Amino acid sequence: MSDISRLPGAFEQYWAWQLKGACRGVDSSLFFHPPGERGPVHDEREDVAKEICFHCPVRRECAQYALAARERYGVWGGLTEDERQDLVRRSRTAARERARR
């Protein structure tokens, strides 16, 4: 489950970006893998999803949302689950390094 405690609230100005997403109207199964999907089929589906994100006018907002909410599944803002986890991990490591100085 996503951690929504970090999110700004229910005000429209925080969420209106979603109306501009290139993924609106696209089958959401393209962005979320079915159970057991692996290998080339998984990679090809993710590549198609990321291509849609690449051309999206709200890609940055989407990625920021997914990172803030710690979205556990799917492609958000052109980032896969693993890519988001790596970014969070690197950010935490960098913060620890700064704190040690």
Binding residues for [4Fe-4S] cluster: 23, 53, 56, 62
pLDDT in tens, the chain (101 residues): 566 565 555 566 677 899 999 999 999 999 999 999 999 999 999 999 999 999 999 999 999 999 988 999 999 999 999 999 999 999 888 888 888 87
Binding residues: 23, 53, 56, 62
What's the confidence (pLDDT) of residue 20?
Answer: 96
**SS (HEC) of 41-68:** HHHHHHHHHHHHHHCCCCHHHHHHHHHH
pTM given for the model: 0.81
Tokens of 93: 């490591």
Neighbours of 69 (CB within 10 A): 16
